[in-house]
Structure 1
């Protein structure tokens, strides 16, 4: 700024950039957003676009790059995904207004929005079937809370959250951005963009005032009882939204306080191992959610993900959800009719959000129209269906009351509105008499232009004469330069007034053409002004009913989810689980939904298995042994998923299921390291196991696979043994414990709540056949060598492994000391003298003859003769 040669435009840019140093600045210049200096360098690299330069600043070239305004959303998405924040500076006035202040005046610009990962609203930047949460963690005098909102749907929630629980809650919500107070704790191992805010943003007194102002109330007590930490976290959200949206706050629903004990506790490791909403590769495909999602609306899809991420612990809530699914399973005609109508339901929540932020367009109004029309039809279907369950009945009631709005939007909007209001053509003919008259004048003017062109052709005798239009000259008569002399000479020069000459064209106007141009332009501009006024009025009418529309959107999602789960239950042969407050866990014919889908696609079938972990006041643990690849991990996971599905309010993949409410779900399955944090596979395993042993209560369901395998045999066995004893004696929970340590099967005779179970296999001619069937009892071997053979290890290695195994097993039967002695005697474990190389045998006559044969050149008769020849060489 100290350079005397700084242009006014660059001075303006630097002033705006100084206020948004942490973000890339999209600086609007006509039809492009331009970036300069370091912003340009960073953006050009991130977007893979050309980096140029424009002028100099302080003696250095100014780096520059830009993106077109009409396609900016795609570039924004790329930048946001790569961790950038973007400040969008728009032109706040027409360039013509700026010129009135002087020829060198700069068009006024200012930032209208700060785009961050947690504040997206555009459909092109969002996943339609997934919430985009912005979260804030507040702490007041030792009390902590986590608040989150999705400004694209208006959801606002808060839950008390001690710091040790924060990771678990973030794993459940998967927010795109987390707000933390500056100078507070430093988060570790959180896959979320962290944004520090000044501590003043978390001040609970100021936060309460901001919340009351936002919702237009004198006190928050009407929404529930909130602690100071909860108010602090919610206030930080509102403060940040006010900052990023530049005062245009989104349409948020009243805050809802969640009961921390109201949902099943599932930590991040368990979510990852069970692949609930994302597979181990990180994508949606292959997850439980991908297999279950038969919802037909975006809102229903988001609701399904929330239910699977946070299964309820309230038996009454679960019962109402299951009752709705059962009703639609039984009422197949109603279910099909509902689903046919749900296919036409647009995303009301996100259309409302964009309209509230003044980012909406005519198609958002059309989405509201389509949504309320479909809601009316769905309500009629439900009310005509007799004894409807309470949850569906309440949802049906929430669908009504929009008749006036539906009629208004139906009369006002065309069937297929344009994307932007400024494009015009959004208001239907017949809605406004004045608009119809102006449009008629505009359209008739175009007809007049066509007739005038025909008259000019006849008058001049120039058949190539055209009447054209551009933004500089307006309407003009266009002829080629070959006719210039005739047009510039009397008598034509008395009618046609010369305007412009170009390389190949000469352009003229006439008094009559100027008059009709004025009429047409006035009519067109007038029509746009009227349509803009109507759009504003319709937007206001929609926002006046925003609360009721949000309620309707929630009801539509609830109906969609119930119908989708019913459709899934029928087509996949799932059963309704029995849910109660006991400590029962009995599953007959249980299946893993994801594995079953994959096997079906391959033309195979899934072997169903039973599981009974029912317990009174003691632990109930199955100790599962058997070979790798036999299905132990699948069995463990499927039972955990059945419990999760049941408490999410879904039917389950089994022939029968009785689930006593599960408070916590823990899983330690699979092997992985954490190199970024310096943790080996074994350390990760031990950390996850420690979390389970410290947290699991007597209503938890725990699945553990191969505890202790990452260290020496005796160390691993000791750890696994002690872990099982702790689960039985201290945690007293329901658990499935898979292991290769067959020595542990002795615990079934010592611990009352432990039973042995094994995966059945069949040996056939030295190979192993996996039956994938769980039976009571213990396995006597692991079949590791057979599995290695299936994996494709060389035959020599397999045979050598068999020999070593036989010697080791014979030593084990003779005692540990004998086994160690045998190991010392094995060539594998000692240095052997060099063996003489055995010469390879010479090839037989048959082999030599076969090497000479070219099969593709043999006729059938020659091939038959060759077989007889070879047979003769073997048996001369």
Structure 2
């Protein structure tokens, strides 16, 4: 077998050992991909494919230089590939290779993305029964060492947590793998790679052992989570170890993420409120992008975490508010803190790189400089009385300041100010750090100075001109003399090369110095690398310290960001409490106000006024108004100031929104089915401590069905759930609910109509409206004029007929039915004998109906919506609709 065939055969053999998608195998100074892998990599990364031929066989080959593997790995992994890396090592018989790590989206350390990079394992609770089991989840970010476990009561809650953490890689447990519905939603909702890790890793006893080994014997009891969450945590630990990421040392603590400590924000709400990205998937225009003024990647990551996981603790939020308030009025100190943090690096990620063994000398310089930021920020805080009396001082005292100072001083004594990018070429350390190294450095400097002065000495000694001393890989050190002076060189010069305008020579003395220089360089490189590995390992053992310092600096950064935005945009500190009252005076939408002149509006929700029916013209701002209220409530529960003149906000346990709907045809779900699923989730999940925002419920189906569902949902939310609710609707019939339900009130978005022109005032006023101005909006949207004109004619005709019917007059139209909210019934709007409207189920009109229609109306009148669940009511409505369509 030839060498080429042997290399390819070895490649294919190693490829069979791994479940990775691609294999990068070291061959000398290159990492090579062969066969189908070469073609894949070439297509993805625009590499050139060459051919390795032997004995009539040809193998595609694509490679990257040894030192350039990282950016190519990163690009492949970000495209969703798992890449195995096989390194080469020397044996007595030649070269051998073995897979040293498998790089996956969840184990990629070489990331420049500031966002968290979570992998998650999800395990179904083996003790659960029925169609909707509970789940255990474990989230780990190998780039920072952050490790969390959580529990979810059902698939919806599990999906909410997955969407909240936005993992890049998902490890489904054995039972989850067979759940096509759940996996389908994971694929549809998340841009994550699904990895089928070995089943045995999820075994409870094995997983529990792995958790105890990593975090200590009392960990499982301390966490207080179920077996499924522990199984998920153990599977993640084994996966990280098996992939060779080498970062387990950075995972120093495991924490339980508990839903009752945080505000529930389901996936739909996070999308509708555009927390971290817009509906179009862009960062710009999101709430996070609007308030993010952080100076560090760690600070930005923490601020996003706060936004996606708001807190319910009044104490925690008031402490954040106090810090934001102090920073917002201390502009100079805030700028000083920003300047210091602007020079800081991501300590949590540097700790992981040190644990992995991939941190270089420049990374340790970054650790050193960032550790110096801690006392620098603390000094700024201490110098300002308002900041010194705020929780900021305590935040900066939480890390072990003495240990941080000791490590910083060690790194200052050790690492040069500007070390090289590689750790094997020497010149990493300062003189005075290590005695043996100092001796090597001294002699190395002596030889280097001798070589640097050789040219001048030779000119003076032998009267030569045009003499230089240099070095290259081919000739080593040499004396180069111009051709015009080359004939005058001394006899002990030995010529080694003739060039066009010069000749190169060597001498016995120069060769001896060259050999000594090479020995010194090798010795210095070896000794510095050995010392550097010891120092890097020392830094790795301080991973928890680095994480603590990094967290403290990130917290100050996130708070300063909120303060900056509050100061620049006239935001106010909301009064928080644990009651039901939510009152906002002249509130503004935090994102919209950045791009347009915004009309402020008020809102009041309390025990007596807990449900607002919002009506008004199309495009007048109903959705913006309701999202504004939800966004202000959410900002308050991360400790932020809010866009308003004043605000009093009762803490909520969840924010739920249903605004618009999209088809999910891949899952066989129409727009209306998506709408009903979202409504069902809200009705089942929201509590009396929640804030609910509903927009146009029931618009995805026939009018009667839609009104029925909207009416029933309103009563259920009012009577059973009792959540604070804003409900926008075009069903003006629903405004009558304010007369039937004690906590319902009407508000509307005002419009001014003069001489046929409509102006949307964007102002919220009490009371209902009975017009939507849809034709005016159609005109604004550019609908052809004949269509608009015809629409106006039809609308005017319908209004005239409605006026006639209201007076009890005859109509040439068939009998119509309308929904009477005051009674909760459909009733006849007109009849053919000129009498007053009657129920279709009574009097002479009943006899004019076929039996099926009559039965439907009787069933409808007999339904008690207060005793009928929303799902059952929906089923009945669909059954009635099918009957009437026959």
TM-score range, shorter chain: 0.7 to 0.9
Task: Tell me if 1:373 matches 2:359.
Answer: no
Once the two structures are TM-superposed, the CA of residue 506 in structure 1 deviates from its matched residue by 7.1
For residue 206 of structure 2, what is the aligned residue in structure 1? 206
Aligned to 1:76: 73
- Distance (whole Å) between structure 1 residues aligned to residue 217 and residue 770 of structure 2: 72
Contact 1:586 1:659 in 2 (8 A): yes
Q: Kindly state the Cα deviation for residue 505 of structure 1 after the two structures are TM-superposed.
A: 8.9
Going from structure 1 to structure 2, the CA distance change for 1:317 and 1:447 (only over 3 Å counts) comes to closer
1:612 to 2:621 alignment: no
Matched residue, 1:412: 414
Q: What is the alpha-carbon distance in structure 2 between the residues aligned to residue 652 and residue 621 of structure 1?
A: 22
On the 8 A contact 2:103/2:245 being kept in 1, the answer is no
- Matched with 2:196 is 196
How much is the aligned-residue C-alpha RMSD, in angstroms?
3.0
Q: 1:281 to 1:492 in 2, by over 3 A?
A: same
Aligned mate of 1:732, from 722, 735, 753: 722
* Per-residue deviation, residues 592-626 of structure 1 (Å, max 9, x unmatched): 11101121xxxxx211111112126xx72111111
Matched, 1:149 2:140: yes
Residues 16-73 of structure 1: CA deviation (Å, up to 9, x unaligned):
212124331111223322100111121112222222211248x542111122333333
Alignment of 1:560-571 (within 5 A): 560-571=557-568
Gaps of 5+ in 1: 600-604, 824-876
1:405-444 aligned within 5 A: 405-432=407-434, 435-436=437-438, 438-444=440-446
Alpha carbons of structure 1 residues 492 and 377: separation in structure 2 relative to 1, 3 Å: closer
Partner of 1:509: 506
Deviation at 1:264, TM superposition (A): 1.1
Distance across 2 between alignment mates of 1:453 and 1:783: 91
Q: Alignment partner for residue 470 of structure 1, among 450, 464, 472?
A: 472
Q: Which moved more, 1:419-428 or 1:438-447?
A: 438-447
Q: Is 2:573–2:641's contact at 8 Å kept on the other side of the alignment?
A: yes
Q: Does the CA contact (< 8 Å) of 1:338 and 1:378 recur in 2?
A: yes
For 2:584, what is the secondary structure of its paired residue?
A: strand
Residues 212 and 694 of structure 1: CA distance in aligned 2, closer, same or farther (over 3 Å): closer
- Counterpart of 2:80 in 1: which secondary structure? coil
In structure 2, the residue matched to 1:872 is none
- Bigger CA drift: 535-544 or 203-212? 535-544
Note the alpha carbon deviations across 1:60-111, whole angstroms, 9 max, x for none. Answer: 4211112233333332232122211111122234xxxx5xx45xx3x23222
Q: Out of 17, 20, 39, which is 1:19 matched to?
A: 17
**Quick one: distance in 1 between partners of 2:677 and 2:813?**
33
Given candidates 158, 166, 178, the residue that maps to 2:158 is 166
Match of 2:254 in 1: 255
Residue of structure 1 aligned with 2:53, choices 8, 31, 55:
55
Matched positions, count:
795
Report the CA distance shift for 1:559/1:288 in structure 2 as closer, same or farther (over 3 A): same
> How much has 1:396 moved relative to structure 2?
2.1
Deviates more, 1:696-705 or 1:497-506: 497-506
Question: Which deviations, in whole Å up to 9, do the C-alpha atoms of 1:304-340 show, x marking residues without a partner?
Answer: 1111101112222222222222233344454344333
What corresponds to 2:226 in structure 1?
A: 227
CA distance in 2, matches of 1:504, 1:12: 50
Q: CA deviation at 1:457?
A: 7.2
Compared CA separation, residues 802 and 144, structure 1 to 2 (3 A): closer
Alignment gaps of 5+ in structure 2? 129-133, 817-886
Label 1:630 to 1:69 Cα distance change in 2 as closer, same or farther (>3 A): farther
Q: 1:820 to 1:703 in 2, by over 3 A?
A: farther
Q: Tell me the TM-score normalised to structure 1 length.
A: 0.85
Other-structure match for 1:550 = 547
How many angstroms does 1:765 deviate by?
Answer: 3.3
Correspondence for 2:871:
none
Aligned to 2:344: 345
Give yes or no for the alignment of 1:777 onto 2:767.
yes
Q: Confirm or deny: 8 A CA contact 2:396 2:552 kept in the other structure.
A: yes
**Pairing 1:176-191 to 2, within 5 Å after superposition:** 176-182=168-174, 184=176, 185-186=178-179, 187-190=183-186, 191=190
1:663 corresponds to which residue? Answer: 653
1:133 aligns with 2:133: no
Decide whether the 8 Å contact of 2:495 with 2:505 is kept in 1: yes
Provide the secondary structure at the position in 2 that maps to 1:40: helix
The correspondence for 2:99, drawn from 100, 103, 111, is 111
Please list the CA deviations of residues 697-742 of structure 1 after superposition, one character each: whole Å capped at 9, or x if unmatched: 2112111111222233333223222222222222221111111111
* Partner SS for 1:651: coil
Is this contact kept in 1: 2:426–2:521, CA < 8 A? no
**Aligned CA distance change for structure 1 residues 464 and 224 (closer, same or farther; 3 Å):** same
Q: Distance in 2 between matches of 1:323 and 1:212?
A: 39
TM-fit CA distance, 1:496: 4.1
For 1:592 and 1:644, the matched residues in 2 are separated by 12
Q: Does 1:597 align with 2:594?
A: yes
Matched ranges for 1:493-504 at <5 A: 495-497=492-494, 499=496
* SS of the residue 1:33 aligns to: strand
CA distance in 1, matches of 2:686, 2:784: 45
Kept after mapping to 2: 8 A contact 1:264/1:310 = yes
Equivalent residues of 1:808, 1:822 under 8 A apart: no
1:578 CA drift (Å): 1.9
* CA deviation after TM superposition for structure 1 residue 666, in Å: 0.9
Q: Can you list the C-alpha shifts for 1:667-689, whole angstroms capped at 9, x where unaligned?
A: 11124222322333222222212
Match of 2:740 in 1: 750
Deviation at 1:634, TM superposition (A): 0.4
Alpha-carbon spacing, 1:5–1:64, altered in 2? closer, same or farther (3 Å): closer
User: Which residue does the alignment assign to 1:622?
Assistant: 612
User: In 2, Cα distance between the equivalents of 1:572 and 1:793?
Assistant: 38
Shift of the alpha carbon at 1:783?
Answer: 1.0
Instruction: Tell me what 2:700 maps to.
Output: 710
Could you tell me whether the CA contact under 8 Å between 2:220 and 2:230 is conserved in 1? no
Which of 750, 771, 781 aligns to 1:760? It is: 750
Q: Quote the Cα distance in structure 1 between the aligned partners of 2:72 and 2:804.
A: 71
1:679 to 1:389, Cα distance in 2 relative to 1, 3 A: farther
Q: Deviations over 1:360-410 (max 9, x none)?
A: 011221122112211012223334555746742431212422222222222
Per-residue CA deviation, residues 548-597 of structure 1 (Å, 9 max, x unaligned), is: 22212111122222222122222211111222221112111111111011
2:672 pairs with one of 674, 682, 705: 682
State the distance in 2 between where 1:574 and 1:434 align: 61
Residue 89 of structure 1 aligns to a residue whose secondary structure is strand
Q: 1:183 to 1:716 in 2, by over 3 A?
A: closer
* Distance in 1 of aligned mates of 2:335 and 2:41: 49
CA deviation digits over 1:810-857, x for unaligned, max 9?
A: 22222398485799xxxxxxxxxxxxxxxxxxxxxxxxxxxxxxxxxx
CA distance in structure 1 between the partners assigned to 2:326 and 2:291 by the alignment: 19
Change (3 A) 1:503 1:815: farther
Aligned partners of 1:10 and 1:636: how far apart in 2? 63
Mapped to 1, the partners of 2:291 and 2:247 lie a distance apart of 38
**Structure-2 change in CA distance of 1:344 and 1:465 (3 Å):** closer
